[in-house]
Amino acid sequence: MTPLLELDKVSIHFPTRAGLLQPRLMLRAVDKVSLTVMRGETLAIVGESGSGKSTLGYSVAGLRPPTTGGIRLTPARAHPAGRDPVQIIFQDPFSALDPRMTVEDIVSEPLRLTEVGRKLRRDRVAEVLEQVGMPADAANRYPHQFSGGQRQRLAIARALIGDPELIVADEPLSALDVSIQSKVLNLLADIREKHGISYFFISHDFGVVRHLADRVAVLYLGRIMEVGPADDIFTSPSHPYTQALFEAVPRIGRGRRKRGSVLKGEIPSPIRPPSGCVFHPRCPKATAICSTDRPELLPAPGRPEQLSACHHKE
Ligand SMILES: Nc1ncnc2c1ncn2[C@@H]1O[C@H](COP(=O)(O)OP(=O)(O)O)[C@@H](O)[C@H]1O
Ligand SMILES: [Mg+2]
């Protein structure tokens, strides 16, 4: 199997200031992340808000170059010049679609830079609208005429129209009504079956991740805490951070929810991240080494495919 996407020590830093007269500091939103996504595979990225998931997703989608490190895409087939084999679906379907553009113009936007005749373009828009379960006459209407779930279908149609190999989906269900979430989730799963698409799927909903992901990467303060096959991570999480995340969700937690979950409080600032293992101030297993040495991402005991960045991994 050939990797479709390879991230090699990707870091994404933002220059910031604590105040007007303060020196410039670096906010390390993503810090030396290495990951691969195989062809046809769905990699889920999980972690608390502020852990760098969206920032990483934008870089994968080509919207923001990494500060350092490499992102390599190896498509399985040729793509016409000007057509990006990576597309993105955003969290909020209300702000993601330009209210002044017709659905046809919005959905066909990824074809903009390629030579496509008007008739062909129209046919292709009708085709993808059908694929996402929208009526053909939606093409001449405007985004405000549709519900949140329908708008997210339009965003999916736009992502599909250029025949991509990878779709970055940044919490694509979280702005939708619960009643609609499973329908859109099923649509994303169908699309993957039919088109052999890979997903870089950002989510904090473990039910959704469990349903869709082949592999899971757990991000905290811009770093990968744990990555591996979804089944292994859900049945035997190795990293205390992953364990704490699961404990915070009673229905998939191992056993009953523990009182006094370790994930109290906010995640520390990525401007001055904790030394050593960034999770150590909140970690129930932390010892002296955790505040001094950054743990490497290495296989969990007896599980060669499940990597965990912890001095006390299980
Ligand atoms: N454009 C930006 N400028 C400065 N800081 C940013 C920018 N975008 C994100 N950040 C910061 O980077 C960190 C990661 O943010 P984000 O990628 O949105 O996390 P997540 O999607 O996991 O919630 C946060 O501390 C956030 O405040
Ligand atoms: Mg985000």
Query: Domains (ranges, CATH) in the chain?
Result: 1-40+48-76+214-314 (3.40.50.300)
Kindly state the DSSP code that residue 193 receives in the 8-state scheme: H
The CA–CA distances, whole Å, from 32 to 201, 282, 310 equal 19, 21, 16
CB 189 within 8 A of CB 164: no
Question: Tens digit of pLDDT for each residue in 253-292?
Answer: 445 445 445 576 778 999 999 999 999 999 999 999 999 9
- ∠ CA 178-191-175 to the nearest 5 degrees? 25
How close is the Cα of 160 to the center of ligand 1, in Å? Answer: 27
* Distance separating alpha carbons of residues 154 and 97, to the nearest angstrom: 9
pTM attached to this predicted model:
0.93
Strands 3-17 and 68-73: antiparallel
Say if ligand 1 is within 6 A of residue 234 CB. no
Rounded Cα gap, residues 24 and 33, in angstroms: 24
pLDDT digits (tens, 9 = 90+) for 83-123: 899 999 999 888 889 999 999 999 999 988 777 788 889 99
**Whose structure tokens read 């390629």?**
114
Q: Ligand 1, from 13, 17, 27, 31: best to mutate by most atoms within 8 Å of Cβ?
A: 27
